[in-house]
Structure 1
């Protein structure tokens, strides 16, 4: 995934974007000065943010692998981010080559990368949609979504590291419910979300540095994040720091769990 894809012409590189800031923390090359400025200021305020980003990415991989091992073959990945190692379709199709994935992001450079670099197995299928999480109809009714996913069968909705960028006035809980209402029982929801519960002072400093850009994040409490799972039963171990969600046996306990500032959980629709 080291190939560099030129930025689309409509991309304004002077405006930082969460996907590209995240790419910088993960060691990627597809970010710009505006992104790096915010990313570095956040690191100065919260040195553990790079480990937190890596932990969030690892949570995505473990959650998708778990879901594929439970027999889920369809994934709707909203807020996918710039491709790196361990993308959703790679993890899912390693378990079941017939798995199907729809990627969604609102950053044109993410979609340019996705179309150029993300290739699934011959048995499976991948699709890429440039759309905004806050407009469920543009995603759920998109022809490529409907051609790739069968909504009469269980689907895993994956929203990792994205919901904190939806402001309270945009009703993030109502937005997520639009997606969860669209899938059948037996479907799953995987979410990670920034919180101030685990390290309040550190998160406050990080927010002051990060929120100088046009896309501020909103930390939420465990109780608030659990609301996204209304109508779902959380699978073990429930809502925990991302490092502590079903860690691989060789990982061991994380020394930065309390500093992570991110909860993760997976739920099954009842």
Structure 2
């Protein structure tokens, strides 16, 4: 049972994905948001599908361990379920989400969950990093940075991604997303996101990657990043891509 007095975006997404790890307060918040915006489940299913395609592409490029920031609930097609042979360290800053993730992953020998502030890689437990992301800084790994940039200002995003670039080994891959300007047409829903929420145009998104070099697809609506067949018709709420640490 999730111990929660306040709604959590991570658990709201679990609800929209059809998961089981959310509380009544999360369902109420999700329902209120849908009343202001519209159905969210298709949008978040496509974001999760993008994560799956991005992770599979990184595995194909040789990544066998992953560091995930702002991980949320580690289920419903999350990294360790997609990359079945890889090791994964999930991190978040919300203590309730961390405890939930640790319960879900209890007994796993290749996936762990711990505290990690996406804006300060030094907050990740070195012991967990060594166990679940072996070779960090010495050989290529996959870094997942989804659902994080929308709550950071431009300067912080650019600094953070550059620090991750410097810490990761050459050849590492970064899966990243940004929230587009879709919510601008829904002022009530936009207000629910709080003052820290940031929407960005694709050109801004590319500049914030700094030294990370996007793959040929660039930064595009997530449903259009290497779709398996025709892209699913959903609002362009999220843009994303995979980028490479080239040197």
After TM superposition, the score normalised by the length of structure 2 is 0.87
Q: Take 2:228 and 2:106, find their aligned partners in 1: how far apart are those partners?
A: 26
Alignment of 1:28 with 2:19, yes or no, is yes
Counterpart of 1:56 (choices 43, 47, 68) is: 47
Residues 167/29 of structure 1: CA separation in 2 closer, same or farther (3 Å cut): farther
Secondary structure of residue in 2 paired with 1:171:
helix
RMSD after superposition: 2.4
Deviation at 1:156, TM superposition (A): 1.2
Deviation at 1:205, TM superposition (A): 4.4
Structure 1 portions without partners, runs of 5+: 8-12
Contact 1:106 1:132 in 2 (8 A): yes
Q: Take 2:186 and 2:16, find their aligned partners in 1: how far apart are those partners?
A: 14
Contact 2:66 2:144 in 1 (8 A): yes
Q: Take 1:86 and 1:184, find their aligned partners in 2: how far apart are those partners?
A: 26
| 1:189-210 Cα distance to aligned partner (Å, 9 max, x none) | 11112111xx4xxx12446325
Contact 1:39 1:210 in 2 (8 A): no
Q: Find the counterpart in structure 2 of residue 254 from structure 1.
A: 232
Q: Take 1:205 and 1:33, find their aligned partners in 2: how far apart are those partners?
A: 28
Structure 2 portions without partners, runs of 5+: none
Deviation at 1:180, TM superposition (A): 1.6
Contact 1:38 1:212 in 2 (8 A): no
Q: Find the counterpart in structure 1 of residue 132 from structure 2.
A: 148
| 1:216-265 Cα distance to aligned partner (Å, 9 max, x none) | 5211111221134221221131111110111113xx23222xx2311011
Deviation at 1:71, TM superposition (A): 0.9
Alignment of 1:135 with 2:120, yes or no, is yes
Deviation at 1:72, TM superposition (A): 0.9
Deviation at 1:68, TM superposition (A): 0.3
Contact 2:66 2:142 in 1 (8 A): yes
Q: Find the counterpart in structure 1 of residue 79 from structure 2.
A: 88
Paired positions, count: 244
Q: Take 2:175 and 2:189, find their aligned partners in 1: how far apart are those partners?
A: 27
Counterpart of 2:165 (choices 180, 190, 194) is: 180
Q: Take 1:166 and 1:34, find their aligned partners in 2: how far apart are those partners?
A: 25
